[in-house]
Amino acid sequence: MLAEDYLDKVLETLLQVKKTQAASIHAAATLVATSIQSGGVLYAFGASHTSMIAQELVYRAGGLILANPLFAPGLSLDVTPVPMTSEIERLEGYGTLLVRNSRISEKDVVIVASISGRNAVPIEVAMEAKKRGAKVIILTSLQYSQSVTSRHSSGKRLFELEADVILDNCGPPGDAVMDIPGVKVKTGPTSTIIGCALVNAIVVEAIGILAKAGMDVPVFLSGNLDEGDQHNRYYMEKYKDKLTYL
């Protein structure tokens, strides 16, 4: 079955990520844990479908409470027409504006996800966050990004910036992994599945580091468990000055 073949491809990619990205995951988690111990928070940014990777970290059962989205108007799939997101992601100056109007500081860590790594907005988000002194973690596909040119005037792709950690999702150019006879282009994208697994791996590792250091780590409990609402209210009230989405 094609469905099983696709799932096999996903599993193969996850195993490749596990094999090749373990050190980078640990390095990223260490940055997050150190930031939180110093009073900072985790920010996450992605555009269009990649925004789902950033959203995965925010207000998430089992997730770190000290995680903020860097939302960009026009760069999620709730706009009409949706193809406009592709044009907005290429606008120079917009990524700089987003960070300048955020609370990102030198205490924080920013994950910037862009699978092709070529468009202006994620490149500028990473550049401006770095200028502010924040630690920057880049999540991209090295194979994909190395196969295309930058759409930013710097001439740089995301992985070519001075990031603190670069994570490779091990995906192919174009993202899709399945060839189906009679279909002109590949189908079966993997970047969202792999990206969400990567950022959750970072969070789990960071939580473990913080717990080992003796911190009462603020982790969301599912609101669909009877005790979830009370648990989450306590921690959101405790950290409300650090949560930009409240």
Mean pLDDT, all residues of the chain: 97
At 211, is the pLDDT very low, low, confident or very high (cuts 50, 70, 90)?
Answer: very high
Contact 73, 132 (CB under 8 A): no
pLDDT of residue 190: 97
pLDDT of residue 154: 97
Quick check: helix, strand or coil at residue 48?
helix
Q: What is the pLDDT of residues 11-44, one digit of tens each?
A: 999 999 999 999 999 999 999 999 999 999 999 9
Q: What is the pLDDT of residues 154-191, one digit of tens each?
A: 999 999 999 999 999 999 999 999 999 999 999 999 99
pLDDT of residue 219: 98
> Could you tell me which residues are beta bridge partners of residue 83?
none
* Identity of the amino acid at 209: I
Task: Render 73-87 in DSSP notation, one character per residue.
Answer: TTSSTTSSSTTHHHH
Neighbours of 27 (CB within 10 A): 17
Distance of CA 91 to CAs 84, 123, 125, 153, 204, Å?
11, 11, 12, 11, 34
Q: What is the pLDDT of residues 99-139, one digit of tens each?
A: 999 999 999 999 999 999 999 999 999 999 999 999 999 99
pLDDT of residue 178: 97
Sorted by where each begins, the domain ranges of the chain are 23-217
Q: What is the CATH number of domain 23-217?
A: 3.40.50.10490
